[in-house]
Amino acid sequence: MQPITQFYLLAGYFWLAVLCGTAKCTLAPSDHPHKWEKLYLVLEWPVTICKMSDNDCSDPLMYWTIHGLWPDKADECNRTWHFNISEIKDILGDMEQYWPDVIHPNRTVFWRHEWEKHGTCAATLEALNSQKKYFSKALELYKEIDLNSYLTKLGIKPGRTYQMAAIREALESIYQVTPKIQCLPPDEGQLQVIGQIKFCLSKEFALINCTQSKSGSSSAHENNLFRTEDLSKCSDTLTEYPAHMHTWKHFLANTVDI
């Protein structure tokens, strides 16, 4: 390479780096250093999340809530693009209801974490390239998937135990794709506990089949704010769908085949 050509290339990279320090800088997906292929819409069961927490969480919500909208292969793509709650003031009602911090109510640390770790990477997609777009799209997808209503219609109710294969088949029958279902592994003499469901989506926001890693463990970018790295792929065995903290002991009499 000629010295003058090398100089201009280096100069170009320098100015690109300077410009991309601003919040509005975006690159074509093929050129972006944080490439990703698909999204996970991650929903969590608050009772299980509370069980995994060291904090006081005695009255968890009794419906599935949003954990996040995650690109599959990137995190913390723009550390200068900080969370600004004023940009989502118009959707705060839905955020508090459907995307709450189940461990630390009335705090925004969770939303900041999700934006700065995952949202800044999702923002390479035009449909997600602002905080308002990112959080609004996740809420929209959550309502479209409508997991709480479908589980109720299928007769899958908290406070009972189910075969994991039956839960998986029921979800596949509704959504026509295979999601990732994660559980809290069992303690000795107990059952695994359902904790999180990941729906995979294309960049066009169409549901697609999820593929499991060979190890079946959480992905490298797994969110550890709530210690959900302790969750792993559910085994095809009896699984608890817990209702309240005081029902944590496993009642085999409530086993239901679906």
Residues annotated as catalytic (active site), given as ranges: 67, 114, 118
d(CA 230, CA 116): 22
**Beta-bridge partner residues of 173:** none
Selection from 214, 250, 258 nearest residue 233 by Cα:
214
Q: CB of 216 within 8 A of CB of 232?
A: yes
Q: Tell me the Ramachandran region of residue 22: left when phi exceeds 0, alpha when psi lies from -120 to 50, beta otherwise.
A: beta
Written as one letter, the residue type at 233 is K
Q: CB of 88 within 8 A of CB of 96?
A: no
Residue 32, CA atoms < 13 Å, CB-side half-sphere: 21
Q: CB of 224 within 8 A of CB of 136?
A: no
Written as one letter, the residue type at 18 is V
Work out whether strand 192-201 and strand 207-208 pair parallel, antiparallel, or are unpaired: antiparallel
Scanning 92-237, the segments in alpha helix (DSSP H) are 92-98, 109-114, 120-122, 131-145, 147-153, 164-175
Other Cβ atoms closer than 10 A to 79:
10
